[in-house]
Homo-oligomer: A and B are copies of this chain.
């Protein structure tokens, strides 16, 4: 079993950790087969922010909430920011949406139609204007663009179009703004996707400049992909900008982070700790991006935050000196054992202490259930149109 000598530093790092929640995860979501609605689901951007603030209130480590445009479009984004601040949270990354307009059936910034490309690129520029108002640092770009059939469009031309749109948006970024380029293996495109893997995202970011970095969505890889390798590689290259945490058994299942393969989440956080990249000052945006199709949304997000915390705590417990010694001496089993010792440790007591030290309930899920918040929103939000992915 592992000795726990430096809990002060571990707890300090855990206290400083920041995880961003996504406004859309509080809304209804589903599969192509069915969206099951839930009671109390927010109807407006403000209500989504209120839910995010609630998650922060119980976890203490989720002080920012990412928005999705146009889903969260409001008249006055400065007012929205003030609203958020009043609830104790900040607006985080601005996510663009160029996949839910009929025009985008065959693509947005890579569409063969120049007019549609213009429209999509303008949306990217609009999002940066929104960032000016919300004070957001990060423009997060995910493109659903791709092809369903071989021959449908020219793979290479689409890269040219993509590069042009990215360049235009990049050049519009302010001094303190950044671009995060997400990649995805497939879906909704079923033959070819225009940014299918980290290599494609990395290559474009490299060409764009230092304000462009890669966003790793943990559910967007081919089966068997070693995600922590990508983390290590991008950290070494200075090009890892953000995570979209979620988990999956099959495709982009968008389950709670850490639910499908907690050991993988630990290995990812282990590379983060090894690369001294956990501290918010390093600049990585650790976001959740999930769909709670059948489980209660706010508790699921609280649980996801806790899962990331637990993986982080275990990563912080890795005995780096012992690990390095074993690695350098070629002791395969010894090195693996050092890592596993940390993973096999029950870190929940440590996190309970961290929370108690911060004046929080050591069990955020139980505290949420006792708080009456769920009953309140179910009562208050009975009327009107619930927000969903398309709302």
Contacts and interface: CB of A to CB of B under 8 A. Distances in A.
A13 interface: no
Interface in A211-238: 221-226, 228-229, 232-233, 235-237
A162 to B, nearest CB: 11
Give the copy number. Answer: 4
Contacts of A260: 191
Q: Which 3 interchain pairs have the tightest Cβ spacing? A: A199-B199, A151-B339, A222-B222
Contacts of A376: none
Interface stretch (A42-50, A55-63, A130-138, A249-257): A249-257
Interface string A271-287: 10011000000000000
Interface string A22-38: 00000001111110110
A85 B185 CA distance: 45
A222 B188 CA distance: 19
A294 interface: yes
Contact of A198 (B30, B105, B199, B250): B199
A191 B389 contact: no
A129 to B, nearest CB: 24
A33 B188 contact: yes
A293 B104 CA distance: 12
Contacts of A185: 224, 250
A188 to B, nearest CB: 4
A134 B150 CA distance: 39
B191 A226 contact: yes
A344 B348 contact: yes
Interface residues of A, number: 106
Contacts of A229: 155, 192-193, 196
Given A33-B100, A144-B33, A255-B190, A336 B150 contact: yes
Nearest to A31: B188
B152 A336 contact: yes
A356 to B, nearest CB: 14
Most buried by B among A150, A300, A310, A330: A150
Contacts of A295: 148-149, 332-333, 336
Contacts of A327: 112, 151-154
Contacts of A30: 32, 188
Given A153-B335, A156-B275, A327-B112, A200 B344 contact: no
Contacts of A253: 148, 190
Interface string A307-337: 0001000000000000110111110110111
Nearest to A200: B233
Most buried by B among A113, A248, A296, A336: A336
12 contacts: A1-B348, A34-B188, A37-B102, A112-B328, A113-B330, A151-B340, A152-B335, A156-B275, A186-B251, A196-B229, A198-B199, A263-B263
Contacts of A251: 186-187, 250-251
A345 interface: yes
B151 A271 contact: no
A106 B332 contact: yes
A156 B276 CA distance: 13
A3 interface: no
